Structure 1
Amino acid sequence: MSIGNEYLKVVQERFKSVKDLGDKTINQLSEDDIHWILNEGSNSVAVIVIHLSGNMVSRWSDFLSTDGEKPYRNREQEFEDNILSKQELIAIWEKGWNILFDTLSDLGEQDLLKNIYIRSKSHTVVDAIERQMAHYAYHVGQIVYIGKQLKDKVWKSLSSQEENQKNI
């Protein structure tokens, strides 16, 4: 396997790992939990999910051929908690991740050094992937942190869940 194809395989696994942390956290949250905020300056899990999905849909749709900041994206609206249910939250969450994974699976080694644009600024595909990995890991970390605070003593460790699943 070439280094480029190995990189694409590894990065898909890393994105899946980040998503898995979010999945396991969201699964522990109630309808009320997804809307909880500490104060007016903080975001709820619902808002973070809306923002992540909006970013993913914009960045990864037509990834190689159009600017990653799509004209239809309304970033400011992503910070409004207008999710009605946990089921809707999960659908929005999955939509973004599905577009990301579909795009990554279509990329080949020959694409990694191509230039793409985000907000009219040129980036190599590798740089764009790494930029998004850092962004998504940051926000999923926020989701996990909020979840741990809310669930307190009933929080189920994300690493122990993984171990439990392996033992089934």
Structure 2
Amino acid sequence: MTIQEVQGIRKQFEYYRMLADKTILLLSQEELNWQYNEESNSIAMLMRHLSGNLASRFTHFFTEDGEKQWRNRDQEFAIGVYDRHELITNWEKGWAILFETLDSITSENIDTVVKIRNQDHTVGEALYRQLAHYPYHIGQIVYIGKLIKNQAWQSLSIPRNKSLVYNQEKFNNPNADTHFTDDYLKK
């Protein structure tokens, strides 16, 4: 893994966070706590889970196991009504820890072996593990948001039936050495 790859991974995390943030902003506290049924998660539960995972995995990333003893994963999914302000505060803290950790990765520590649940991971493996995990849940957040908002939903990426226009705009521009997330993260 290279520092350039870490920078690309950072952009991917920023992109998926942006999708979740835009969804969360569209929803009331009641909507954040809505569950389809008892077995499904509310967006609030998913936010609690991701916040807990972010804090656990990336606090003291290089020196402590990514599954902290202070974390209570099961409690993150407890059915309840959760305060919007508290959810967003913890959400912000978790993402800040991730981005601080990503920004601390250097050529001197990139080859460090880190642990998650007492299993060795290269820095790259640990990052890719979370890069698969977070979008999985963020996709759930977006999907639940779409269910709740229905006709009032606002597209977060390429709107339905607009792919041709979007692609034409891309191909009308000169080839660029940019990251695909740049278009979305500028908005």
Q: Per the alignment, do residues 13 and 83 of structure 1 end up closer, same or farther by CA in structure 2, a change over 3 Å counting?
A: farther
Which structure 2 residues correspond to residues 1-168 of structure 1 after superposition, within 5 A? Answer: 4-82=2-80, 84-159=82-157, 166=187
Provide the aligned length of Structure 1 versus Structure 2: 163
Q: Per the alignment, do residues 132 and 51 of structure 1 end up closer, same or farther by CA in structure 2, a change over 3 Å counting?
A: same
Distance (whole Å) between structure 2 residues aligned to residue 129 and residue 28 of structure 1: 29
Q: Cα deviation per residue 1:25-81 (whole Å; 9 max; x = unaligned)?
A: 000011110000011111000000000010110100000001001111111111124
Superposed CA RMSD in Å reads 1.8
Contact 1:46–1:81 at 8 Å: present in 2 too? no
Distance (whole Å) between structure 2 residues aligned to residue 99 and residue 83 of structure 1: 25
TM-score, length-scaled by structure 2: 0.82
Identity %: 45
TM-score, length-scaled by structure 1: 0.91
Contact 2:35–2:41 at 8 Å: present in 1 too? yes
The answer to which structure has the higher helix fraction is 1
Q: CA deviation at 1:160?
A: 6.2
Output the amino acid matched with 1:137.
P
Q: Per the alignment, do residues 39 and 79 of structure 1 end up closer, same or farther by CA in structure 2, a change over 3 Å counting?
A: same
Distance (whole Å) between structure 1 residues aligned to residue 69 and residue 29 of structure 2: 32
* Bigger-Rg structure (1/2): 2
> Aligned to 2:115, what secondary structure does the other structure show?
strand
Output the amino acid matched with 2:154.
K
In structure 1, the gaps of 5 or more residues are none
User: Which deviates further from its counterpart, 137-146 or 108-117?
Assistant: 108-117
Q: CA deviation at 1:113?
A: 2.6
Q: CA deviation at 1:159?
A: 2.0
In structure 2, the gaps of 5 or more residues are 160-182
